[in-house]
Amino acid sequence: MKRLTPYLLVLPGGLWLAVFLVVPMVFMASVSTQEGDLVNGFAQTFNVGVYGDVLSQYGTQFLRSAGYGLAATVLSILLAYPVAYWIAFRGGARKSTYLLLVLLPFFVSFVLRTVSWKFLLADEGILLAPLKSAGLLPGDFHVLQTTAAVIGGLVYNYLPFMILPIYVALERVDPRTVEAAQDLYASRREAFTRIVLPLSLPGVFAGVLMTFVPMTSDYVNAAILGGPENTMIGNIIQTEYLVNNDYPTAAALSFTLMAAMLVGIFAYARALGTENVLEAAAR
């Protein structure tokens, strides 16, 4: 009985993950090589050629998504690092208050936050209308339906996921190591680049994992803040699945996206250690 205990404990949750996470991936792969339509039904024809088709047809959107994801990730690191640094080293007794402030957006629904940005940035909205009537901006100036709006929205929505892991890593840095470096005649800059920065890199890596993946596969920001020129791969997958009901194409696209992401994630996690990334992700 005692030997069975861990298995009994882990079984219900493990089965849930296996049945609803692993098995569906197999079904998705299977759907992707089927042919047919919603009316006449889909039949398995092992049509592997669909992968070539979707890549040539939607290669632009794949590349665009990767580009947006990359740009938004880099921007997030640049924006988040100083914030995390300041809270960790200068936050004093109010650290948890600052963290709560950074996390406040999570208490508003993701879609509602994005819609709120649409209000703010509307062509005749509360930000642009006064600037336009004051003659500071040309009348046809707009932010919505641009690449900048989509990337800005992505950075906004996922920034706390970058701040938190970097903060956790910086929090663990013993201030005495910095003092020691300065005692050994390191300048402030050297103490930062040679002590603090390397020690905080695991946090940056965890942050990249937690932001790049969801940002690249996002479709909410492109749909609400972007225009037809900003369509990301997520928008295509969403439309093919839920609007056009072209399941094979949609499944092939998602499977390609997943494969690309998983290869990346596992190479990344292998290099850095799964446990560490998991732990950072859980905080």
Partner 1 sequence: MSASEPGSTGGVRTRPRGRAGDRLLRVYVWLVIAWLLLPIAVMIVFGFNDTQSKSNVSWQGFTAKWWGRLDEYPQLLDAVDYSLKIALLSVLVTTVLGTLMGLALGRHRFRGQGATNLMMFAAISSPELVMGASLLSLFISTGVETGFWTVVIAHVLFSLSFVAITVRARVVGMDASIEEAARDLGASAWTTFWRITFPMILPGVVAGALLAFALSIDDFVITQFTTGGDVQTFPLWIWGATRIGVPPQVNVIGTLIFAAGVAIAVLNAVTARRRGT
Interface with partner 1 in residues 133-192 (CB under 8 A): 156, 159-160, 185, 187-188
* Nearest distance in Å: CB 239, partner 1: 12
Interface with partner 1 in residues 40-59 (CB under 8 A): none
Where are the extended beta strands (E) located within the chain? 34-37, 41-44
Cα(150)–Cα(229) distance, integer angstroms: 11
Q: Which of 48, 55, 100, 131 is the binder for partner 1 (CB under 8 A)?
A: 100
Torsion of CA 37, 40, 43, 45, to 10 degrees: -60
Instruction: Check binding of 77 to partner 1 (CB under 8 A).
Output: no
**Residues binding partner 1: number (CB under 8 A):** 93
Task: Give the number of other CB atoms < 10 A from CB of residue 260.
Answer: 14
Helix, strand, coil % (nearest 5) of the chain? 80, 5, 20
* Nearest distance in Å: CB 24, partner 1: 4
Listed ranges 25-33, 132-140, 143-151, 167-175: which one lies at the site for partner 1 (CB under 8 A) = 25-33
Task: Give the number of other CB atoms < 10 A from CB of residue 212.
Answer: 23
Instruction: Check binding of 122 to partner 1 (CB under 8 A).
Output: yes
Listed ranges 15-23, 53-61, 133-141, 196-204: which one lies at the site for partner 1 (CB under 8 A) = 15-23
Listed ranges 56-64, 131-139, 193-201, 269-277: which one lies at the site for partner 1 (CB under 8 A) = 269-277
Instruction: Check binding of 273 to partner 1 (CB under 8 A).
Output: no
Q: Which of 211, 221, 231, 254 is the binder for partner 1 (CB under 8 A)?
A: 254
Interface with partner 1 in residues 191-250 (CB under 8 A): 209-210, 213-214, 216-220, 224, 234, 237-238, 241-242, 247, 250
* Nearest distance in Å: CB 42, partner 1: 8
How many Cα atoms within 13 Å fall on the side-chain side of residue 171?
18
Cα(276)–Cα(202) distance, integer angstroms: 8
> 58-79 burial by CB neighbour count: b if 16+ within 10 A, else e?
beebbebbeebbebbbebbeee
Please, are residues 280 and 272 in contact by the beta-carbon 8 Å criterion? Answer: no
Instruction: Check binding of 70 to partner 1 (CB under 8 A).
Output: no
* Nearest distance in Å: CB 64, partner 1: 15
For the record, the structure tokens of 156 come out as 């906004």
Q: Closer CB to partner 1, residue 150 or residue 213?
A: 213
Look up residue 171 and give its amino acid. Answer: E
